[in-house]
Amino acid sequence: MAKITFIDPKGERRTVEAPEGWSVMEAAVKNAIPGIDADCGGACACATCHVYVDPAWAAKLPPKEEMEETILDFAQDVTKASRLSCQLKVTAVLDGLVVTTPKNQH
């Protein structure tokens, strides 16, 4: 289990427990975190699970693969901190991860 904190655009924090091996997107959806739609369930088909990773954590994440890089191009308000949460696998290293959800996924 790893603790992951989601901060919404208004600054409200929600912390959930995520089993290792799941994606950060799944941890969000299963805990009804608002702002992560993930319509396709992680099939890289919808670009609706965009998050901003806290700068302190960016270096601990695996680099983006081509598929994620490409899909992020089509998300709204993308910054250097942007990741697709369906592509972030939960590991012990990510215990304490903090991400912010965007205003809009569509």
Partner 1 sequence: MTETIVIIGAGQAGAQAVISLRAEGFSGPITLIGDEAYAPYQRPPLSKAYLMGTFERARLFLKPESFYADAGCTLIVNTAVTAVDRATKTVRLSDGRALSYSKLLIATGTRVRPIPCPGAGLSGIHSLRSIADVDGLQAVFRPGKKLVVIGGGFIGLEVAAVAAKHGLDVTVFEAMERVMARAVSTPISDFFAIAHRAAGVTLITSTGVDGFEGEGAVSGVRAGGKTYPADIVLVGIGVLPNVEIAAAAGLECKNGLVVDKYCATSDPAIFAAGDCTWHQGRGHGEDEGNWMRLESVQNAIDQAKHAAASMVGKPKPYNEVPWFWSDQYDLKLQIAGLAWPGDEIVVRGEPSARKFSVFHLRGGVLAAVEAVNMPADYLVGRKLIGEHAKVSAARLADTSIPIKNVVG
- In angstroms, rounded to a whole number, what is the distance separating the alpha carbons of residues 43 and 50? 14
Number of residues that bind partner 1 (CB under 8 A): 19
Q: How far is the CB of 94 from partner 1 (least distance, A)?
A: 17
For residue 14, the surrounding DSSP H or E stretch is: strand 13-18
Angle at 68 between CA 40 and CA 36, to 5 degrees: 45
Site for partner 1 in 37-76 (CB under 8 A): 39-41, 43-47, 67, 70-71, 73-74
Give the residues lining the site for partner 1 (CB under 8 A): 22, 26, 29-32, 39-41, 43-47, 67, 70-71, 73-74
